Amino acid sequence: MKTSTTPVTAPKWHIVDADGQTLGHLATSVAHVLRGKHKADFSPHQLCGDQVIVINASKLAFESKKLKQKEYVSHSGYMGHLKAVKLKEMLEKHPARVIEHAIKGMLPSNRLRADMLKRLHVYADAEHKHEAQKPSPLTIK
């Protein structure tokens, strides 16, 4: 199969306010923009997505049941080293990691995923350091 290679344009900057948003809807729309599927010249083997800034990560909306039940599990490979952290604890300590973890799971696991995630900037509050890039607001449906 022959694929065409188009020249990649410079990435645009988008800003998303996560205040009151649900995690799944936010993550799918941000992953869509990071991958570049919203562009007409999308090709899956090129890095053609845009830069995305997510603010107010600590103000995501969750049901109380999900806050108590959802766990982030990691294992080091050694016996007895299984670590589980509840969503409520993760939001209190590292609210940006919740969004980063959800978006990482929605991107394809190939060589471009690390480069796509470098274009994601998540902040727990409303302040960010990218005013010079003049980000345009991204609406989530």
User: What tens digit of pLDDT does each residue of 86-120 get?
Assistant: 999 999 999 999 999 999 999 999 999 999 999 99
Exposure string (b/e) for 42-81, b if CB count within 10 Å is 16 or more?
A: eeeeebbbbbbbbbbbbbbeeeeeeeeeeeeeeeeeeeee
| Average pLDDT of the segment spanning 69-86 | 97
Within 13 A of 128's CA, how many CA atoms are on the CB side?
Answer: 24
Q: What is the pLDDT of residue 84?
A: 97
What distance lies between CA 79 and its chain's CA centroid?
31
Instruction: Write down the pTM of the prediction.
Output: 0.92
For residue 23, give the 3-state DSSP assignment.
helix
Average pLDDT over residues 66-79: 96
**Angle between helix 23-35 and 95-106 (nearest 10):** 60
Q: Which tens digit of pLDDT belongs to each residue from 6-58?
A: 888 899 999 999 999 999 999 999 999 999 999 998 989 999 999 999 999 99
Domains defined along the chain, listed by start: 13-62+94-137 (3.90.1180.10)
Band of residue 1 on the pLDDT scale cut at 50, 70, 90 = low
In this model, does residue 125 exceed pLDDT 80? yes
Q: Is the predicted pLDDT of residue 3 greater than 90, yes or no? A: no
